Amino acid sequence: MTKQTGNTGSNLRVDGQALWTDLMETARFGGTPKGGIRRLTLTDEDRQVRDWFVKTCESLGCTVTFDSMGNLFARRPGQDNALPPITMGSHLDTQPTGGKYDGILGVLGGLSVLRALHRSGYTTRHPIELINWTNEEGSRFTPPMMCSGVFAGIFTEQEVLDKRDRAGIRFGDELERIGYRGAEPCGRHPVTAYFELHIEQGPILEAEKKTIGIVEGVQGMRWYEVTVHGKDAHAGSTPMPMRHDALVASAKMIEALSEIAFAHAPTAVGTVGLIENRPNSNNVVPGETFFTVDLRDPNDAVVLEMETEFRKRFADIAEACGVTLDIVQIWDAPAVHFSPACIDMVAEAAAEGGYSARRMVSGPGHDAAYLASVAPTSMIFVPCKDGLSHNEEESILEPDAEAGANVLLRAVLKADAAFSREP
User: What is the distance of C-alpha 155 from the center of its chain?
Assistant: 16
CA atoms within 13 A on the CB side of 364: 21
The answer to whether 222 and 333 are in contact (CB under 8 A) is: yes
Strand, coil or helix: what is 138?
A: coil
Strand, coil or helix: what is 133?
A: coil
b/e 182-214 (16+ beta carbons within 10 angstroms → b)? beeebbebebbbbbbbbbbbbeebbeeebbbbb
220-333: CATH class: alpha beta
| Residues of the chain with confidence (pLDDT) below 50 | 1-8, 421-423
The answer to whether 113 and 128 are in contact (CB under 8 A) is: yes
User: Which of 337, 271, 326, 339 is CA-nearest to residue 303?
Assistant: 271
Residue ranges of the alpha helices (H) in 77-135? 104-120
Q: Tell me: domain 2-219+335-418, CATH 3.40.50.2000, correct?
A: no
* pLDDT score of 3: 45
User: Helices 398-418 and 340-352: crossing angle, nearest 10°?
Assistant: 130
Dist. CA 307–CA 150, nearest whole Å:
26
The domain ranges of the chain are 2-219+335-418, 220-333
Q: For 93-145, what is each residue's pLDDT tens digit?
A: 999 999 999 999 999 999 999 999 999 999 999 999 999 999 999 999 999 99
Instruction: State pTM to two decimals.
Output: 0.84
Instruction: Measure Cα distances from 366 to 184, 287, 308, 363, 379 in Å.
Output: 23, 36, 25, 9, 9
